[in-house]
Amino acid sequence: MFAAGLIAVVSANANPLANKEVALMLRSGYSSESILREIASRRVLEALDPATKKTMLEFNASPQLISALESGQFVVSTAEAEQAKEQSADLAARRALQNEEERKRALLSQAEAKALPAAAAPRPPAATSIANALKDKLVRCQDGTVRPADPSALESKKLIAFYYSAHWCAPCRKFTPGLVDYYNRVAAEHPEFEIIFVSSDKSRFNWETYMRESRMPWPAIDYDQLAGMNGLKRLGGDGIPSLLVLDAGGHLVASSYEGDKYLGPQYALATLDKIFASTGGK
């Protein structure tokens, strides 16, 4: 389910771009100028259709980019398009197989854990493992100042949401105020819940500015610590904003994705609301 980051998806290979990939690049903050350079090098699979054009315009595509895509000058031949589609289908099949193998390993691990004798020492819950892994890496922005977070703050949490976002990402800045309101509304009623900000910002200044301007009430992984946490960053999926929620057992309970399909962080929040409704917040 968790693919590599957007750059790896749309830039690490020489395959032509699909229109939906161009739209995803725009949505994730790529400039029209950078995308124009990309399609000039790699070209595109198909002519621009009206529905995708509308989506691109919503993500602030420039007239030059729209004109280039509509002109058809970068569209590959039918044979090249078919070859690229076959390669994409093969990659998707391999990813699905890998996801299924990971699911089976997880089920096997759960079965083995249940089969342990009662006297065996239980494994610590994933929330405790997360707390131990992050306790010296978390900060909070309070009154405009970034300070170390309480290292024990995660120990009692049963639901931990990782919020993947960045100041440069316009859709992120649009979504974050609503997430702040959501957090402020549910945090007191659901003390077992926490959000952790995982930044995709390009500088510490922008990271700190984002937290300060949006008044993020939740902890964040310190910017200087993020360079060594590529595995965690990749879990967020191909695009931002993204929410990934784990329970105390380390199981995925909510995500911005359904398989490889991006549905947005609102999808994860809807799942969280169902969980909170079923537990009554206790």
Q: Are 74 and 40 in contact (CB under 8 A)?
A: yes
Q: Are 162 and 127 in contact (CB under 8 A)?
A: no
Model pLDDT, residue 94: 66
Model pLDDT, residue 3: 29
Beta bridge partners of 122: none
pLDDT in tens, 237-249: 888 999 999 887 7
* Secondary structure (DSSP) of 176-237: HHHHHHHHHHHTTT-TTEEEEEEE--SSHHHHHHHHHHHT--S-EE-GGGGGG-HHHHHTT-
pTM of the model: 0.57
Query: Which are the contacts of 198, defined by CB distance < 8 A and separation ≥ 6?
Result: 162, 163, 164, 165, 220, 221, 226, 229, 232, 233, 236
Taking the chain (282 residues) in runs of 10, the rounded mean pLDDT of each run is 32 67 79 87 89 91 93 88 73 61 56 48 46 80 87 84 93 94 92 93 92 94 86 82 85 85 90 83 48
Q: Are 246 and 202 in contact (CB under 8 A)?
A: no
Model pLDDT, residue 65: 93
* CATH numbers and ranges of domains, the chain: 1-123 (no CATH), 126-279 (3.40.30.10)
